[in-house]
Every structure is written in structure tokens, then in C-alpha cells.
Amino acid sequence: MKEFKTSVKVGVPAEDVYAALTNPFAIEIWTGSKAKMSTEEGSEFELWDGDIAGRNIKFVENKMIVQEWYFGEEEPSIVTIKLTAKSNVRTEIYVHQTNIPDEAYENIAGGWEEDYIASLCEFLEGE
């Protein structure tokens, strides 16, 4: 099992990033796909028409999201997204995913960089 870590700074407040990650309507805009999301701890979620699915473990409004991502028969993977306000208009997004199956690592790492983070930043910064 492997783990993935990355961080990126965006030119928007942490509140905007948090809303983009937790509001299903915003998620559908930046992913271009159906999404199921709730900020209720223990709720199930689906992103990219169910390509990413799991359970929401913990929320700290405008600061942190912890999720359990499912990989079939494998142990769930834990994803922690931390938001650190660098100013009123800059936020650092830190992603840490643990327990990634070896055979899925390249696909997961590429998906974070090329799809998830790139799409989110484009949506947030309007570029």
C-alpha cells in the first residue's frame, strides 16, 4: 500500500475552497459530473458519477475534510484535505491519501494532479 501527498495554493479564501469541496452543486460544476455530497459525518459520497465513492468521516468547517475512499475488496483509503488560510484571499490545499493499493497508485496520483486539483483550481480561480 502506498500514500500520496500534495499541496497547492489558490487565490481564494478557505471558505470558497471548502464550499467547492462540500457543496454538491459546486462539485458538479467543477467536475462536470454528477455528485452526491453532504457535510454530515458518516454520510456516503460519490464524485465523478460514482468513480470515486466512500464515506465522510469528519468535517471542520473551512479547515478540514476527512473521507474514506472505497477500493472494492481492499481496505478503505483515508483522504485528508486540509485548508490553511494564508491570507484573506489565499489558501493552501493540502491532500494526504493513505492506503492506496500499489496497482492503483499511478492512476490515483495522476487523477489527483490532472483531474481533481487542476479542475478545482480552474473553477476557483476562474482560469
Contacts of 19 (CB under 8 A, 6+ apart): 26
For residue 119, name the pLDDT band (cuts at 50, 70, 90): very high
What CA–CA distance (Å, rounded) separates 90 from 121?
12
Grid cell of 15 as nine digits: 471558505
For 8, how many CA atoms within 13 A lie in the half-sphere containing its CB? 18
Radius of gyration of the chain (CA): 14
Give domain limits for the chain: 2-125
Least reliable range by pLDDT among 2-6, 28-32, 33-37, 75-79:
75-79
Does residue 127 register a pLDDT over 70?
Answer: no
The per-residue pLDDT for range 85-111, each reduced to its tens digit, is 987 889 999 999 999 989 889 999 999
- The model's pTM is 0.93
Residues facing 68 on adjacent strands:
55, 78
Q: Taking residues 3-18, what's their average pLDDT?
A: 96
For residue 78, name the pLDDT band (cuts at 50, 70, 90): very high
2-125 belongs to which CATH class?
alpha beta
